[in-house]
Every structure is written in C-alpha cells, then in structure tokens.
Amino acid sequence: MSIGLFIDGQYLYQVVGRRKIDFIKLREMVERELNDIIDEGYYFSADDDPPLAEKFHNALSYPPPSGPGLRVKVYWLQRKKLFWPDGTPVIHPTERFQYESITQKAVDVGLMYHLTRAFHKRQFTRLALISGDGDFHEPVQNLVENENVELYLVGSMNSMWGELRPYARRILEIDREPLISELLYRPAGYGSAASHSSAASNSNAAASSTAATTTGQ
C-alpha cells in the first residue's frame, strides 16, 4: 500500500490565501492521516516569474526528510487585457493600469496525465488530491470504482468539486482547525519548526517566501 499525492498549486493558494504553508508538514500530515507512506508526490503550477519560481520549486523538490520531495511540473500562464463592452479598457481608478485576466494553461491536463501514468506505473492504493477542479472527475472516479483506489480530498469544502465528494473516503479540510495551524510555516527556532534541520529550514524559507506568488498563479 502507498499514497499518490497530487497538488494543484493554484487551488492550494485559493484555500490558504496568503498564509504560508510548510510543505514538509503537509506531506507528514497526509501520511499520518492516511496511515501510509507517500510513494510519489507532484506539485503542478503555472508561473510568469521564472527566477522566483525556480527558487520555490527547488525547495519543493528537496528530498525528505529535509524537504517535501515533490516532483514539480510547471506550465504556462495566459494574460488577456480586459475591456468594457463598449471596447474601452478597464483601468484601475487610482493606479491607472489596465486590468488583466490571468489563467493557467494545461495544468489540469498535466495533473491528470501524471496521475493516471503514476498509478499504472506505481499502483498506489490511496490518492490524496489537492485540487478543486472537477474537469477530470471521471478518471478519478474510475480509479475508485474499478481500481480499488481510496480517494482522500484535501482542501476546503467551500471549493471542492461536488462530483468528487461522494467518492472520497475522507475529506481533510486544511482551511480549518486543527489542520491549518499545524501546517503553517514557522521560522527555525519557533516551536516545532526548531526540530527541522538547517536544510529543511532553508528549503521551507525559500518555499514560504514565494508561496503567495507561485501558488496563486
């Protein structure tokens, strides 16, 4: 038995907002709550600031126990200027810049591709999914119904796709207590964070310092 962990970075940001998450603690929490070991973990994101994102992604990929050991998959962002129905640009009232819509491309497709590929290669028996998108609910439902995979949804009940809820063995609400306090990043020397090695502290400092930017895109 083993766990496959799949994280949609944008969804995670929507759940926790600007609170900084310790990804080592996130991995440990999933393993504890599911009473099993993560065999493969993936983090999916789209970024438009490569230098900043690279630092964050390197921290995420640092192997356990000093890091969360996630396989990072980066896709692209699409920017589109916003206009009113009459064709005039939508301008900020004081800063005078034109508003843009920013959407991530191919993240959902990439997540589902790697999820199904990892299952057929590694045969994990438990799926921890941090995503609110329901576009791929049928492949996930197939794993539950036909492959005997246990589904665990991680996130917020307010934003989880309803199609997947009936298939979940459990729902871990990380936007509520006690889990949210457990997952918050704290600098070395503060409470339990003091027990982390210097490498873990450096990795998480890099991850947390950029989390609001990278996971929100």
DSSP the chain: --EEEEEEHHHHHHHHTTPPB-HHHHHHHHHHHHTS-EEEEEEEEE-S-HHHHHHHHHHHHSPTTTS---EEEEEEEEEEE-B-TTS-B-B-TTT-PBPEEEEEESHHHHHHHHHHHHHHHH--SEEEEE----TTHHHHHHHHHHS-PEEEEEE-TTTS-TTTGGGEEEEEETTSTTHHHHHB---TTSGGGGGS-HHHHHHHHHHHHHHHHHTT-
Percent of the chain whose predicted confidence (pLDDT) is above 70: 79
74 or 29, which is more confident: 29
> Considering the domain boundaries, does residue 24 fall inside one?
yes
Select the highest-mean-pLDDT range: 42-51, 73-82, 161-170. 161-170
Residue 118 lies in a domain: yes
pLDDT in tens, 51-83: 667 888 999 999 999 999 999 998 866 667 888
pLDDT for the residue 205: 39
pLDDT of 111-160, one tens digit each?
999 999 999 999 999 999 999 877 778 899 999 999 999 999 999 998 88
pTM, two decimals, is 0.75
Structural domain count of the chain: 1
Q: Which domain holds residue 12?
A: 3-77+103-214
In a domain, 53, yes or no: yes
Give the CATH number, domain containing residue 179: 3.40.50.1010
* 84 is a domain residue: no
Q: Is residue 92 part of a domain?
A: no
Flag whether 208 is in a domain: yes
Average per-residue pLDDT for the chain = 82
86 inside domain: no
Residue 205 counted as domain residue: yes
